[in-house]
Amino acid sequence: MLKLISKILKIASYCLFGLIVSMSLFVVTLRFLGESPSIFGYSFYYVLTESMEPEIMAGEMIIGKSADPKDLKVGDIITYIGESDSLKDKIITHKIVEIDGDSFTTQGVANDLPDPPIDSSRILSRYVTTIPLAGKIFTIINSRFGFIFLIAIPLCVLIVNEISTIVKAFKEDKEEHLSE
């Protein structure tokens, strides 16, 4: 019975390890390509600045869902690609303060002035929620240390574990042949 539980735990740990490695590679690859990870229509964004504090803190990860610009209203928080000045081509998450046809004006909660208006085609998603601690994990995954810690070290542990399993099986096989 103990062997069965041990085997189940071993299989579960391999599955968990595989899932973590796969998710990490998925996120790192998308970030390398300059895209935001998206699963089932939900996108994940990392907040870099304090412009939305205290509603959304710098360093947090948020979830956004694509939305029809016609369904957006003043007060909604959206993520979009900036199109002018220092915001050009940056991914920004701010609150809508004015809508004029297909033009949206946003402003960070902590900012004194609104951002330049953007066209509705630049909107990526509407804010859904914040994922607690995910921003910190994302920061770690995107760092060199994080990659080593989350990919290389678990891979080494897996290899050492497999080598010990093979050596153990080899010893058992050798003992079996000697006893015959």
CATH number of the domain where residue 47 is located: 2.10.109.10
58 and 126 assigned to the same domain: yes
**pTM value?**
0.64
Q: How far apart are CA 106 and CA 49, in angstroms?
A: 15
Q: How far apart are CA 96 and CA 117, in angstroms?
A: 10
On whether both 124 and 157 belong to a single domain, the answer is no
Tell whether 2 and 24 lie within a shared domain: yes
Domain hosting 167: range is: 1-35+143-180
Task: Answer yes or no: do 17 and 55 share one domain.
Answer: no
Separation CA 164–CA 92 (nearest Å): 50
Model pLDDT, residue 31: 65
Q: 26 with 52, same domain?
A: no
| Cα 94 from Cα 5, distance rounded (Å) | 50
* 148 in the same domain as 109: no
Q: Which runs of consecutive H residues, i.e. helices, occur in the chain?
A: 2-32, 134-141, 144-147, 153-179
pLDDT confidence of residue 37: 66
Please give the chain's pLDDT, 180 residues, in tens.
777 787 888 888 777 777 766 776 776 676 666 666 677 888 888 888 889 999 988 888 889 998 899 999 999 999 999 888 788 888 899 999 999 999 999 999 999 999 999 999 999 999 999 987 777 777 777 778 877 777 778 788 888 888 888 888 888 777 777 666
**Amino acid at site 77:** I
Say what the pLDDT of residue 97 is.
96
pLDDT at position 154: 78
Q: Give the pLDDT confidence score for residue 32 in this predicted structure.
A: 67
Q: Are residues 8 and 52 in the same domain?
A: no
Do residues 141 and 27 lie in contact, with contact meaning Cβ atoms separated by under 8 Å? yes
